[in-house]
Structure 1
Amino acid sequence: MICGMALPFHYLLVDDSLQDQLLAREAFEHLCPECLLTCAGSGREALELLQAPHFQPDVVLLDLNMPGMSGFELLREMKSAAHLVHIPVVILSTSSAQQDVSEAYTLHASSYLVKSSSFAGFLEQLEKFLHYWQASRTVNHGRQGQQR
């Protein structure tokens, strides 16, 4: 079990694939049942959630290729909004194109992960991801807590 902190860690997954959302829910339930995972099926839906006064995820997992508002567009919106700029955004995409990786980092993504094609690989990716961000939270908790 990865979690165990007083406040549950809150993640927002933005992905238009219902299958990927279900896989993520299953992986989170297995790896970190105390964590909160909210799923949004589009960039526009995620932006609406992020505009809500008391909705403040610790980390956003963002797919790039979505109809309507793309992941790049959502990332651009988040990094230009004062109340959202501090939220880490991790790209979780099937694209390994160097242009996509470069653009994501240019737009200030915190990290870029290419989705594993197997569930076992995806679990391993998520486990490393959860360890990293939860360790980061303990280091930065005081600073982020002041911004909320």
Structure 2
Amino acid sequence: MTEPLRVLLIDDDPLDRLLADEAFSMLDDASMLITAESGQAALALLERPDTPLPDVVLLDINMPRMNGFEVLAALKQHPRFCTIPVVMLTTSANPEDVAQAYTLHASGYLIKSVRFQTSLKQVETFIDFWLKRRRSRLGVED
């Protein structure tokens, strides 16, 4: 069996974290979701030597104190975290936000759905994509 995809979700909204947790848990054991309620909490978690690095980060943009762009910049400037793919997960469809995310080297940009079934499909597609990417990076065929 393949090791589950380790996903770190950084989002200040408790309801969004709960919905993501629910969606990820409904999709068998293909992934393992870890959540952080702020950029500072996520960076502190990643800095701990006993924390396995995630395969991919899902990052909200609109957060207090340290917004998603600041977290993304911090991750990409850190020698240990700079290669972790970061996908922005946000309600913002603002083209300036999309451009800024990619300028800061985000690997993707997803707009949060307001419907749970659509969110579930987004999560399923997200997991499938990143599992395939990890397998291809490791030279493992499907």
Q: TM-score range by the shorter chain?
A: over 0.9
Counterpart among 77, 80, 99 of residue 74 in structure 2 = 77
Distance in 1 of aligned mates of 2:68 and 2:94:
15
Q: What is the TM-score normalised by the length of structure 1?
A: 0.89
Aligned residue number for residue 33 of structure 1: 29
**Residue 88 of structure 2 corresponds to residue 91 of structure 1:** yes
1:145 corresponding residue in structure 2: none
For the residue of structure 1 that corresponds to 2:110, the secondary structure is strand
Contact kept in structure 1, 2:31 and 2:127, CA below 8 Å: no
Q: TM-score, normalised by structure 2?
A: 0.93
Report the counterpart of residue 107 of structure 2 in structure 1.
110
| Alignment match, 1:53 | 49
Unaligned runs of 5+ in 1: 143-148
CA distance in 1: counterparts of 2:99 and 2:80, whole angstroms: 25
1:65 matched to which residue of 2? Answer: 62
Quote the sequence identity (%): 48
Shift in Å, 1:8: 2.2
Q: Which 4+ stretches in 1 moved above 3 angstroms?
A: none
Counterpart secondary structure, 1:57: coil
1:141 corresponds to 2:138:
yes
